[in-house]
Amino acid sequence: MIIIEENSGKAWFCRVAVIFLLAGSFALQGCDIGTDTSNNESNGSNQSNGTNGSDANNGGNQNNDSNGSNGNNQNNDNNTLTGDTSPAAAVARFQNYLSREDFEYLFPNRFGSPVWQEQTANAGREPVDYYSYANLLEAIRRMANINIRIEYRFGVPLNPYTMRTIAINKTTGAETTVIEGGGFNSQWNMDRPINVQRVVDYGSFLAAGSANDRRRELAAFLANIGHETTGGWPTAHSGGQFAWGLHFNEEVAFVGGYTSNYTDHANVNFPPVPGRSYHGRGPIQLSWNFNYGQMSAFLFGDKNYLLENPQRVVECGILGWQTAIWFWMTPQAPRPSCHDVMVGNWSNWTPSARDRATNQTRAGFGHTIMVINGGLEGNNTDADGRVFSRIGFYRRIAEKLGADITGEKLDTEGMHGQTWFN
């Protein structure tokens, strides 16, 4: 479950919403979710529906698994794809590092699988392959058509009040002012030159760092979502505890219409809709109204779409995967993104004195835990069950991908939460 710390990530999400007002729509069988503004290039027949696990139809991208299993580190590190962040390259790069066969091996008990169907709680539920490999590829392709540019005025403290976010359609080049902090164009600030704080290219997933960095990043991404959605336990059958990732696509306690208390009624930017539940859904377990609102604004240009219809995240596997990629790649102020901390992309983030004092300057898996849930899982060894689970998934997946994690800090011991202004 995503839990953004008070006065840190929450402040960012409340104010720096990314709204895309660029044309484009899709209507997938069983996955018609209106206008997806990331989908602006031709996507073939748009027949990927995630209902049968078939990878034959993934929006025109050919799912060629000719490289077979890469568990022995035999995948071809095609350097021509490293700097190419186009949708086609993003999909090809992912396939290069994780074949369909290896995905099936890592998540054999996922939502809709035969093991999932055997669970008493799932009796009568349709066994849709929500987390299918095809859905994941299509989500990567769509997200890779999006950039954002975050700007601020020179000489002004970096915070949401003085920042502006611009959306960029990578296919057309069209730019749209997304959101502007109240101080960005205030009279006292107007004469200051505009600086670019950073550009986030969602097609750069697995495109940064060395080949081993990219394997580590993929392992960390899959490990964290595996933990967030796990159905495993220490003595689990069918592959053991860490073979049960992606087993759930929403918080079990709220399946069937029960309403959660993940609502921030004081949030004026993304106010909750009465009667809606903003509990954890999808691979990263998106939760709270301010996160649903931002994701909705980001993808549909309408914050109210998911605020009014949060269940759409579990009704469309592609959308579910998009929420996970969005969270992984987007800076979680005051921290960088999970992507940044896995590849050591410190040019996008200046560690504070407290960061340095609490060992939060090291790229690695432990830092992703702090970005995702540092408020609850910070300053813990693997004696903490949650940290133990994340690390267990990471070790298993890294081994399968052939990623060298020797010497990497995996837990959060010595790391603490922080606020924007420390």
Helix 385-401 to helix 365-377 angle (10° resolution) is 160
CB 13 within 8 A of CB 420: no
C-alpha torsion sign, points 314, 317, 322, 324: positive
Question: How many Cβ atoms are within 10 Å of 198's Cβ, its own excluded?
Answer: 17
Measured CA to CA in angstroms, residue 80 lies from 24, 26, 344, 350 at distances of 29, 30, 21, 30
Tokens 């008070």 belong to residue:
6
C-alpha torsion sign, points 105, 108, 111, 114: positive
- Cα–Cα distance, 243 to 104 (Å, whole number): 10
Beta bridge partners of 201: 147
- Residues across the chain: 422
Tokens standing for 385? 């069950």
Instruction: Determine how β-strand 163-169 pairs with β-strand 175-180.
Output: antiparallel
Which of 228, 250, 251, 408 is labelled catalytic?
228
Question: Residue 198 is inside which H or E element, if any?
Answer: strand 194-201
Which string of DSSP letters, residue by residue, matches 396-420? HHHHHHT---TT---S-TT-----T
C-alpha torsion sign, points 46, 51, 52, 54: positive
Answer yes or no: 104 catalytic.
no
Which string of DSSP letters, residue by residue, matches 224-256? HHHHHT----TT-STT-GGG-TT--SB-GGGTT
C-alpha torsion sign, points 86, 92, 98, 104: positive
222: closest CA among 24, 397, 34?
397
CB 156 within 8 A of CB 162: yes
CB 263 within 8 A of CB 288: yes
- Cα–Cα distance, 296 to 292 (Å, whole number): 6
Tokens standing for 65? 């698994």
- The residues annotated with a catalytic role in the active site are 228
